[in-house]
Amino acid sequence: MDIRTVGVVGAGQMGNGIAHVLALAGYDVRLNDVDAGALTRALDQIGRNIDRQVARGKVTPDDKAAALARIRTTRDLAEVGPCDLIIEAATEREDIKNRIFEGLAPHLAPHTILTSNTSSISITRLASRTDRPERFMGFHFMNPVPVMQLVELIRGIATDEATYAACLSVVERLGKTAASAEDFPAFIVNRILMPMINEAVYTLYEGVGNVRSIDMAMKLGTNHPMGPLELADFIGLDTCLAIMNVLHDGLADTKYRPCPLLVKYVEAGWLGRKSGRGFYDYRGDGDPVPTR
């Protein structure tokens, strides 16, 4: 099918990045959030991010103006329902995602494809709660969306080939690369990445190294661009914990047990960059300071 309009539900870090790349690629975007302030912040963030692309010569000022004109914000799910494709990009909680799809149900066009940007939750299970499991997929962008080239496409057990082909065509039009993943907990990227981050937290918890030494060891010893604890702060420690819980519950293997220190940081509200403090403290004017 020819996808022209795309609804994005959730205007946070992932949602505004997804709206950004869709609009630049020429799609008409309806960006939805329950919080009017989040929608305002999203448009401001998209504008600033495109300005960086203009400064680097990646896009022109006219491209920016055209992209911003293609994004329409709304707090009403009914305005998102008739889109050709909908990408749910809300927080990584299955109950919230299910409520969003239930809210969309009365307003969907017959041909609308539903997708979730979930990084770990079962696509088959999410799809089963809708009226169109054959037109439901996982559409998992990497963060930050405008920079990262990969998109995981995850078929549920009922996803049909036409739905997969339509979503693949969107990924290609965005200039990104698709990795096809099976519907198992955390898919490909987070199935590998999150246990590494969790092991880094265990290494800190057990006193093998401190925050700086662990991150330095992985950056200089394995040539990673960010250390695992720095990366966890960037992703959000609550998101890391949620994914580890999905792995632990879904695969029933003790090797996926979340580190107690990760749990403690989340209980404290130390969620990383977004809360100002995680494994590093970002509240000062200088470089972030390790919290352990």
Residues 110, 235: one domain?
Answer: no
The domain boundary residue, chosen from 138, 156, 181: 181
Instruction: State mean pLDDT over 135-159.
Output: 97
pLDDT for residue 241 is more than 90: yes
* CATH number of 227's domain: 1.10.1040.10
Distances (CA, A) of 113 to 1, 78, 233: 10, 15, 33
Instruction: State mean pLDDT over 166-194.
Output: 97
pTM, two decimals, is 0.90
Q: Where are the beta strands (DSSP E) in the chain?
A: 5-9, 28-32, 71-74, 85-88, 113-116, 136-141, 150-155, 177-181, 280-281, 289-290
- The catalytically annotated residue of 119, 120, 122, 275 is 119
- Is 190 an annotated catalytic residue? yes
pLDDT for residue 215 is more than 90: yes
Tell whether 186 is covered by a domain.
Answer: no
Structural domains in the chain (count) = 2
- Is 275 an annotated catalytic residue? no
- The catalytically annotated residue of 16, 116, 190, 198 is 190
- Is 92 an annotated catalytic residue? no
Contact 2, 112 (CB under 8 A): no
* CATH number of 47's domain: 3.40.50.720
For 80-94, how does the pLDDT look when each residue is reduced to its tens digit (9 = 90+)? 999 999 999 998 899
CA distance 28 to 41: 19
Residues 146, 261: one domain?
Answer: no
**Residue 246 belongs to what domain range?**
191-290
- The catalytically annotated residue of 20, 140, 198, 230 is 140
Residues 136, 222: one domain?
Answer: no
Block residue for tokens 């494709």: 85
- The catalytically annotated residue of 152, 198, 230, 275 is 152
The total number of residues written for the chain in this structure: 292
